Each structure stands twice: as structure tokens, then as C-alpha cells.
């Protein structure tokens, strides 16, 4: 793709099917994605910024937005650490069951979220397998049984589950491509293994890890199916932002739903923009790797 | 440096961790995946079979379950081919022609990945709901979109929109245009070039994208929950029916349907892993680059 200074809108090409492929692409993109999103933004514009602020600036909405973004961030941080570890283990070590482990990482992509939701709830409910342990351990240590499901911990676990594959899948191919010679050179120059990992390997992984982190964060913020079963959905405490939209819709308050939907979009895009800026900044600092 | 450390250094490769470090890292990875992935998986089947095979099969034979299974298959049968056609057209348009705004177009195609499914559903309600101009006209002419099949299909397409295109674009970029150009010079028609030159080159990548698209289409919950209206026997897909049964404390029924979807997810993962093992070189560069 040579880029000449002033190229025409569409360059002439002997390839067939320009009209057909462009027509299908633009028509379907418009009907399925652009018109619906446009409808949301139009509804918001007609409702007016002041009215939208009136909907959003309520304790219950702030609580839900804060909960959604805070827990999504924490879950993405957990996935960042665990995902890099998992990618390292899968890419570098050979042990029995590695392929099974590798395939299992993708299950959260393939498993429907509602199924994940009821399965996690069954596990972490007070009478569930893990929920029972939590209750007993809590009773033994503090005198009160710990609860996981129907608390913020339950939401956190569901968000960790749905975000699990992102960091691993973006970082793993990069680890496989790291040249051993670089590590050997570092070791020959007297660096300890930990120093090599920190100063030689991590900088090459960091951009991919950050991309995975951003994807996991975006996914977690919008997640609905796996969370609503385990969350308990108590207003002000375990109510996530997408659920508020559903509640507004059930009350046929379309303006209110649009206002919260637009607020979520804006916050997500600001967060992703911030991550992209960190990306650019870290590339400039470390060099383009 | 004492003799003992010297001998240890001599026998350990400079680009390897110590054995105990490896064992600990592998143990953490396995423990995490067992807790996060395998445990929910086992729970689904255990809960489905809690009252034996017969109870699970009976639950799958009820009218609600049967209509949910039929509806989910129908939605996948309509939405997945349409998304595949879009993916092929978009990949052809993007990789075979040079035009301005290509990066912007790719961003638009990726947009659904960063939007919450609930917000996606909301967009369709606001664009085509019975209280909008377009939606009202369509309802008056006997073609409702929201709370009916077309809306569910469109919402499903929204959330699966980038899958096929994203898989095909890197593969087709890597393969370039030389083969197609040669076929054109030899006098082949456009369709002949596509079916005899391009399609054989991208078939495994296409299958891979369709596989992931299908898994998501059959399991989508958030977007469908909003646009379907959850009408029992009419617009309740399998995930929606799972939610209804779960909320009615029909645990065996809910988990039996969930087990069917889980089996489908496992089959998807199996096929995906086989494709990756067998045709890694012909799949999207994303995974190995």
C-alpha cells in the first residue's frame, strides 16, 4: 500500500467487485451498527444535556457507574497479572496437560455469559461448593461467615472470568517471539534473571499486556449476563450500570436509559483513550519494540 | 563466589528459571484455571444431573425448552451467514482496494467490541422500537423489529459483527493480490477468481471466524435480553430461557439447557484447537504474530 501525497478517494484498481463489496460493507455496517448507535445519540441530543445530567446525577446512578468501573478496573488488573503469568507458563514451560490448560483459557470466550453466571453463582452461593468454604473460613477466623455471591466479591469474580483470556492471548504470541539470544546477552553481561525479566523482557511485553488490559476492561464494564446472577442487584451496593439501563427500559423510560447508555459510552471511550495515550507514551519511552 | 553456586550456574541455562520457580508458577497457573474455568464447567453438568439423567432429559423436552432451542438455532442460522457475507465483503473491500479512510472503516467495524451488549440492545430499541417513526410504520405494516425475531437477529449481528472480518483481513493482507491478479490476466471472471483463488486460501480462516461467531451468536444474552422482550415461547432464546427457569427456581431445567450450551462451547473450543494445530499458518496472523 504505497501512500502517495494526494491520493484519490478510491484508487483505480483492476480488481473486480469494488461496487459489490463496498455496497455490502457500507449497507450492512449502516443498518447493523451506525443507524442504531446514531439513534442512541440522537435520542440523547433531543433529550438535552441538562436533562441527561439530571438522570445521571443521582446517587443510585453514580453508585452503579462507580461500582462498574471500579470493579472492572480491579478485575482487569488481576487479569493483567494472572494473564501475563499464564502466558509465560504456557509459552515457556513444557509440562503434562499444557495443551488442555491452553485450550481452557479460551472457555470464557466460548461459554455463554448466562451459563457462566448461573454456574459461578452455584459455586459461590452460601450453600455452594466454594461459598461453603468461605462461610466456614470466615466463621473460624472472624466469627461471621464470609459471603462471596451477592456481594461485590461475586461481581469481581464474574468480571475476572469474562476477562480472563484477553491478556493471555495478546501476550502469549509476543513471548513466543522473544529471541533467546537477547536474554542470553543480558545474562552474559551479568544481569540476574529477575533483572533480565524486568528490564529486557517486560518492556517488549508491556504494549501487548496493556492492549489485553484495555480489552479486558472494556469487556468487563459492559458485561451483563454473567454478573446479574451473582451480584444480588441491591441498589447502591451491588447494582451495575448495565442493569440500570435494563431497569429504565422495563419502566419504559427510554430517555433515562439513553442518558445512562451515553454516559457509559463516554466513560468507556475516555478510559480507552487514556490507555492509548499511555501506550503511545510508553512506546516513546521504551522505543518502538 | 563459592564453588557450590558456581556449579549451580554451570548446569542451569541462562535463559531458564530455577526449577522451584517453574513449579510454583505452573502450580499457580493450574490452580487459577481449575478454580476459574474447570470448576464452573463441572458445576454446570453436576447441577444438570443432580436428579439423574431422566430429569435432565425431561427438562429439555418441555415446550419452553424446545421452542428456545428452535429459536436459538434459527437465529444462528440467519445471523451467522449474514455476518460471514459481511466479513468476506468487508475483507475484500479493505484488502483488495486502496482508499482513504481505511483505518477509520476498520475502527467502525471493531466498534461493537467496545460497546456493552445492553447498550447495543438499547440502540435497537431506540432505532426501531414501536414508539419511533420507523418502528411505528413497520409495526403498522405487520413487520415489528423490536420484541420480535428481526430485532434479535440484528442485535445478535451487532455483537458478532467484527468476528469474521477481523479474522479474514490479516490473512488476506498477508496473501496480497498477486494470485488474484494473475488469474485476472488469464481471463478469469471476478466470481471465478473469488471461488477458485481467494476462497481456497481463506477457507480455514473463514471457518475459524464463523466458529467463534456462531458460539457468540447462540450464547448472546445482554443484547437479546433488551430487544427480545422475553416473550415465553416466542422470543425467549436459550440463554433467556435459562434465566427465566433459574429465577423460577427450576434449577435442573436451567442447568440442563445450560449444559447443552456448554457442550456446544466445548465443541467450539475443540474445533478451534484442531484448526489452530492443523492450519496455524493459514489462520489470522493475529495468533502467531
pLDDT computed for residue A90 by the predictor? 95
Yes or no: say if A145 and A135 are a contact pair by the CB < 8 Å rule.
Answer: yes
**B123 → closest Cβ in A13, A39, A105:** A39
CA-nearest of B211, B244, B248 to B225 is B244
Judged against a pLDDT cut of 70, whether residue B103 lies above it is answered with yes
What is the rounded average pLDDT of the residues A209-214? 92
pLDDT computed for residue B32 by the predictor? 96
- Backbone CA torsion sign across A110, A114, A118, A123: positive
Q: Rounded to an integer, what distance in angstroms lies between the CA atom of residue A65 and that of residue A104?
A: 31
Q: Which residues of A touch B100 (CB under 8 A)?
A: 7, 9-10
| The three-state (H, E, C) secondary structure of chain B, written as one string | CCHHHHHHHHHCCCCCCCHHHHHHHHHHHHHHHHHHHHHHHHHHHHHHCCCHHHHHHHHHHCHHHHHHHHHHHHHHHHHHHHHHHHHHHHHHHHHHCCECCHHHHHHHHHHHHHCCHHHHHHHHHHHHCCCCHHHHHHHHCCCCCCCCHHHHHHHHHHHHCHHHHHHHHHHHHHHCCHHHHHHHHCCCCHHHHHHHHHHHHHHHHHHHHHHHHHHHHHHCCHHHHHHHCCCCCCCCCHHHHHHHHHHCCCHHHHHHHHHHHHHHHHHHHHHHHHHHHHCHHHCCHHHHC
Q: Rounded to an integer, what distance in angstroms lies between the CA atom of residue A65 and that of residue A73?
A: 12
pLDDT computed for residue B288 by the predictor? 42
Report residue B6's pLDDT band, with 50, 70 and 90 as the boundaries. Answer: low
Report the gap between the CA of A115 and the closest CA in chain B (Å): 5
Report residue B92's pLDDT band, with 50, 70 and 90 as the boundaries. Answer: very high
Q: Rounded to an integer, what distance in angstroms lies between the CA atom of residue A267 and that of residue A242?
A: 13
Cell 446472577 sits at which residue?
Answer: A229
Q: Write the burial class of residue B133 (CB in 10 Å: 0-12 exposed, 13-18 middle, 19+ buried).
A: exposed
Task: Determine which of A262-276, B201-215, B224-238 has the lowest per-residue pLDDT on average.
Answer: A262-276
Count other Cβ atoms within 10 Å, centred on residue A241: 26
pLDDT computed for residue B14 by the predictor? 66
Chain A, residues 151-190, CB within 8 A of chain B, namely: 160-161, 164, 169, 173, 176-177, 180, 183-184, 187-188
A35 at interface of B, judged by CB pairs closer than 8 A: yes
pLDDT computed for residue A188 by the predictor? 87
The grid coordinates listed for B230 are: 422475553
Homologous superfamily of A40-286 in CATH?
MetI-like (1.10.3720.10)
What is the rounded average pLDDT of the residues A8-27? 91
Task: Determine which of A188-192, A280-284, B12-16, B248-252 has the lowest per-residue pLDDT on average.
Answer: B12-16
Domains present along chain B, CATH in parentheses: 49-288 (1.10.3720.10)
Yes or no: say if B205 and B167 are a contact pair by the CB < 8 Å rule.
Answer: yes
Q: Who wins on pLDDT, B174 or B157?
A: B157
Across the interface, whether the CB atoms of B269 and A110 are under 8 A apart is answered yes
User: Which residue in chain A has the smallest CA separation from B124?
Assistant: A36
- Backbone CA torsion sign across B122, B255, A105, A127: positive
What is the rounded average pLDDT of the residues B127-146? 89
**B92 → closest Cβ in A21, A37, A122:** A21
DSSP A238: S
ipTM of the complex: 0.90
Report residue B94's pLDDT band, with 50, 70 and 90 as the boundaries. Answer: very high
What is the rounded average pLDDT of the residues B280-289? 62
A140 at interface of B, judged by CB pairs closer than 8 A: no
What is the rounded average pLDDT of the residues B47-68? 94
pLDDT computed for residue A241 by the predictor? 94
A15 at interface of B, judged by CB pairs closer than 8 A: yes
**Greatest Cα-to-Cα distance within chain B, rounded to the nearest angstrom:** 90
Mean pLDDT of all residues belonging to chain A: 90
Task: Determine which of A272-276, B243-247, B281-285 has the lowest per-residue pLDDT on average.
Answer: B281-285
What is the rounded average pLDDT of the residues B191-203? 94
Report the gap between the CA of A261 and the closest CA in chain B (Å): 6
Q: Which residues of A touch B226 (CB under 8 A)?
A: 245-246, 249
Report residue B1's pLDDT band, with 50, 70 and 90 as the boundaries. Answer: very low
Q: Rounded to an integer, what distance in angstroms lies between the CA atom of residue B128 and that of residue A270?
A: 28
Amino acid at each position: 500500500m504505497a501512500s502517495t501525497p494526494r491520493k484519490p478517494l478510491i484508487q483505480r484498481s483492476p480488481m473486480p467487485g469494488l461496487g459489490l463489496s463496498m455496497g455490502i460493507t457500507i449497507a450492512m455496517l449502516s443498518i447493523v451498527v451506525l443507524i442504531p448507535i446514531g439513534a442512541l445519540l440522537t435520542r440523547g441530543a433531543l433529550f438535552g444535556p441538562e436533562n441527561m445530567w439530571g438522570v445521571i446525577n443521582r446517587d443510585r446512578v453514580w453508585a452503579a457507574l462507580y461500582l462498574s468501573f471500579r470493579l472492572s478496573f480491579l478485575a482487569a488488573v488481576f487479569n493483567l497479572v494472572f494473564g501475563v503469568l499464564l502466558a509465560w507458563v504456557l509459552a515457556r514451560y513444557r509440562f503434562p496437560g499444557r495443551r488442555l490448560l491452553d485450550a481452557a483459557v479460551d472457555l470464557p470466550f466460548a461459554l455463554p455469559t448466562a451459563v457462566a453466571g448461573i454456574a459461578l453463582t452455584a459455586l459461590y452461593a452460601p450453600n455452594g461448593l466454594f461459598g461453603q468454604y468461605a462461610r466456614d473460613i470466615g466463621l473460624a477466623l472472624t466469627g461471621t461467615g464470609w459471603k462471596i455471591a451477592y456481594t461485590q466479591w461475586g461481581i469481581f469474580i464474574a468480571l475476572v472470568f469474562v476477562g480472563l483470556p484477553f491478556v493471555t492471548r495478546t501476550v502469549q504470541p509476543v513471548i513466543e517471539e522473544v529471541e533467546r539470544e537477547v536474554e542470553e546477552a543480558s545474562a552474559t553481561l551479568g544481569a540476574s534473571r529477575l533483572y533480565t525479566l524486568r528490564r529486557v523482557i517486560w518492556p517488549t511485553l508491556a504494549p501487548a499486556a496493556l492492549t489485553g488490559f484495555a480489552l479486558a476492561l472494556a469487556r468487563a464494564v459492559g458485561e451483563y449476563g454473567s454478573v446479574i446472577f451473582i451480584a444480588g442487584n441491591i441498589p447502591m451496593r451491588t447494582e451495575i450500570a448495565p442493569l440500570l439501563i435494563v431497569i429504565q427500559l422495563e419502566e419504559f423510560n427510554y430517555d433515562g436509559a439513553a442518558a445512562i447508555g451515553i454516559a457509559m459510552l463516554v466513560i468507556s471511550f475516555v478510559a480507552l483513550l487514556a490507555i492509548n495515550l499511555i501506550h503511545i507514551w510508553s512506546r516513546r519511552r521504551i522505543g518502538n519494540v | 563466589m563459592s564453588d557450590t553456586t558456581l556449579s549451580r550456574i554451570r548446569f542451569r541455562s541462562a535463559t531458564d528459571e530455577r526449577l522451584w520457580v517453574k513449579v510454583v508458577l505452573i502450580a499457580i497457573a493450574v490452580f487459577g484455571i481449575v478454580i476459574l474455568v474447570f470448576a464452573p464447567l463441572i458445576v454446570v453438568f453436576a447441577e444438570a444431573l443432580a436428579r439423574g439423567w431422566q430429569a435432565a432429559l425431561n427438562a429439555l423436552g418441555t415446550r419452553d425448552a424446545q421452542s428456545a432451542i428452535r429459536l436459538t438455532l434459527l437465529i444462528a442460522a440467519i445471523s451467522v451467514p449474514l455476518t460471514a457475507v459481511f466479513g468476506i465483503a468487508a475483507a475484500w473491500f479493505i484488502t483488495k482496494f486502496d482508499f482513504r479512510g481505511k483505518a477509520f472503516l476498520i475502527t467502525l467495524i471493531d466498534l461493537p467490541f467496545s460497546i456493552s451488549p445492553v447498550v447495543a440492545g438499547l440502540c435497537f430499541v431506540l432505532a426501531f422500537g414501536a414508539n419511533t417513526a420507523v418502528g411505528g410504520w413497520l409495526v403498522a405494516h405487520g413487520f415489528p423489529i423490536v420484541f420480535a425475531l428481526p430485532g434479535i437477529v440484528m442485535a445478535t449481528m451487532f455483537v458478532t459483527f467484527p468476528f469474521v472480518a477481523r479474522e479474514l483481513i490479516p490473512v488476506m493482507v498477508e496473501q496480497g493480490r498477486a494470485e488474484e491478479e494473475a488469474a485476472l490476466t488469464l481471463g478469469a471472471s471476478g466470481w471465478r477468481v473469488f471461488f477458485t483463488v481467494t476462497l481456497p486460501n481463506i477457507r480455514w480462516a473463514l471457518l475459524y471466524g464463523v466458529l467463534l461467531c456462531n458460539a457468540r451468536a447462540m450464547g448472546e444474552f445482554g443484547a437479546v435480553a433488551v430487544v427480545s422482550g422475553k416473550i415465553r415461547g416466542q422470543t425467549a432464546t436459550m440463554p433467556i430461557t435459562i434465566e427465566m427457569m433459574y429465577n423460577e427456581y427450576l434449577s435442573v431445567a436451567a442447568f440442563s439447557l445450560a449444559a447443552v450450551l456448554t457442550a456446544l462451547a466445548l465443541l467450539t473450543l475443540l474445533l478451534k484447537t484442531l484448526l489452530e494445530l492443523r492450519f496455524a499458518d493459514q489462520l489470522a496472523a493475529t495468533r502467531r504474530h
